Amino acid sequence: MSKLPHLNGLRAFEVAGRHLNFRAAADELGVTQGAVAQQVRQLEAHLGLQLFERLPKGLAFTSPGRSYHVNVAAAFEALRRATDHLKPEPGKVLVSVTPTFAAKWLIPNLPDFSARYPEIDLRILATEKISSFHSDGIDLGIRQGEPPFGAALDAYRLFRQEIIAVAAPGLIEKHSLSHGADAVSYLPKLHDSHDLWPEFLGLLNIADKGGHGLRLSQTALAVDAALSGQGVALVSRFLVAADIAAKRLIQITPESMSGKQDFYLLAMRKSKHNIAIDTVIKWFLAQAET
């Protein structure tokens, strides 16, 4: 294994590379400009490569310096994240949710949470991947699924999966259609990654006569497309309840489709909770009931 450079030199290089200026790097590190320049020179000597071009008004990366800085900066960021996971932050709660849940339900409801609990730092990790309570450091997760979720987890059902067909009122008027199966059949469809249209059309016993429609990667995008009058979306009722109440969307057929993939709030067993986590759990459950 090759001998690693001194950490001080790597740190000086990482900060100087962000600023492309030794003086600004010295201000951030709390040392002299000469000390930063010397640490970088020692690193270059260790590597046998020039990392910066010294210019009259700052620095410029050499080609090897630029690629090396990307990796060194990523290494320091990984160290920062690892340290943050170890540091106790009793008022911080990190919640992993899907982008659609974040955009269409959580963010619109966050003002209520912030008003009630200003002392809690609620952080949102919006991702399609299944986050880990250990490696990702999350405190809570919201996902579709069905129990059991694992012996180490508590699961709280927030919403049942009830899929409905929605569209903008103007789209119905534009096509001179009434509500019901005819409207579902003839209007363009908005497809997302769940691909529920074949099952829903089978439930209504109708054919798709709406053309190719539009294919999108997320349900949130399908809802946005429906709001802009581009077609009919299939979506869980709770995600569009506010849009229906405000008449921005209408449910165009009374039929709905249920499934086993309900929405659950997942948490580590109660013994691992703190007051902030318990508060967030209670808020989610209360909001889901309204």
* pLDDT 10s digits, 214-236: 999 999 999 999 999 999 999 99
- List the one residue out of 101, 98, 104 whose CA is nearest residue 130: 98
221 and 269, same domain (yes or no) = no
Residue 2 in domain: no
pLDDT of residue 45: 95
57 and 74, same domain (yes or no) = yes
Q: Which CATH number do you get for residue 240?
A: 3.40.190.10
Q: What is the mean pLDDT of residues 167-191?
A: 84
284 and 233, same domain (yes or no) = no
- List the one residue out of 67, 72, 68 whose CA is nearest residue 8: 72
Residue whose token pair is 């439930």: 203
Percent of the chain scoring above 90 in pLDDT:
66
182 and 220, same domain (yes or no) = yes
Residue 1 in domain: no
Of 86, 104, 138, which one is at a domain's C-terminal end? 86
What pTM was computed for the model?
A: 0.66
d(CA 99, CA 117): 23
pLDDT tier, 1 (very low <50, low <70, confident <90, very high otherwise) = very low
Of 51, 69, 86, which one is at a domain's C-terminal end? 86
* pLDDT 10s digits, 17-52: 999 999 999 988 889 999 999 999 999 999 999 999
How many domains in the chain? 3
Q: What is the mean pLDDT of residues 136-160?
A: 86
Residue 57 in domain: yes
Of 54, 86, 118, which one is at a domain's C-terminal end? 86
190 and 130, same domain (yes or no) = no
Is the pLDDT at 212 greater than 90? The verdict is no
Domain that holds residue 106: 92-159+261-289
| Distance from the first to the final alpha carbon of the chain | 60
